[in-house]
Amino acid sequence: MVQMTYRDALRQALRDAMAEDDRVFVIGEEVGRYGGAYGVTKGLIEEFGSDRLMDTPISEAAIVGAAVGAAMAGLKPVAELMYVDFIGMTMDQLGNQAAKIRYMFGGQIGVPMVLRTQGGTGRSAGAQHSQSLEAYVLHTPGLRLAMPATVADAYHLLRGALRQPDPVVFIEHKALYTLKEEVDLSAPVPDWGKAAIRRKGDDLVIVTYSRQVHNALKAAEELAARGIEATVIDLRTLNPLDFDTIRAEVERVGRAMVVSEGVMTAGVAAELSARISEECFDFLHDPVVRVAGEDIPISVSVALEAASVPTTALVRETAERLVA
CATH number at residue 280: 3.40.50.920
- The pLDDT assigned to 222 comes to 98
Give percent above pLDDT 70 in the chain.
100
- State whether 201 and 175 are in the same domain: no
Alpha carbons 167 and 151: distance in angstroms, whole number: 22
Half-sphere exposure of 10 (CA within 13 A, CB side): 32
Residue 32 lies in a domain: yes
* Residue 190 belongs to some domain of the structure: no
Q: Which residues form the domain of 243?
A: 196-323
Please compute the mean of the pLDDT values over residues 74-86 and round it to a whole number. Answer: 97
For residues 100 and 202, state if they share a domain. Answer: no
Task: Specify whether 172 is located in the same domain as 23.
Answer: yes
Q: What average pLDDT score do residues 104-130 get?
A: 96
Last residue in a domain, options 159, 183, 207: 183
Instruction: Among 118, 150, 183, give the residue marking a domain's end.
Output: 183
Same domain, 167 and 222: no
Number of domains, the chain: 2
pLDDT of the residue at 113: 98
CATH (domain of 79): 3.40.50.970
Residues 168, 46 share a domain: yes
Q: Is residue 189 part of a domain?
A: no
Q: Which of 129, 156, 173, 214 is catalytic?
A: 129
Asked, for residue 311, whether it belongs to a domain, the answer is: yes
| Domain end call among 183, 218, 246 | 183
Q: pLDDT confidence of 173, banded at 50, 70, 90?
A: very high
Residue among 143, 154, 48, 166 at smallest CA distance from 87 = 143
**Is 129 labeled as catalytic in the residue annotation?**
yes
**Are 54 and 100 found together in one domain?**
yes
Report the alpha-carbon distance of residue 95 to residue 76 in Å, rounded. Answer: 18
Q: Is the pTM of this model over 0.95?
A: yes
pLDDT at residue 185 in the model:
84
What average pLDDT score do residues 171-197 get?
A: 93
Residue 142's identity, in one-letter code, is G
Task: Return the SS3 of 258.
Answer: strand
Rg from Cα positions in the chain: 19
Residue 188, domain member (yes or no): no
Sequence letter at residue 107: G
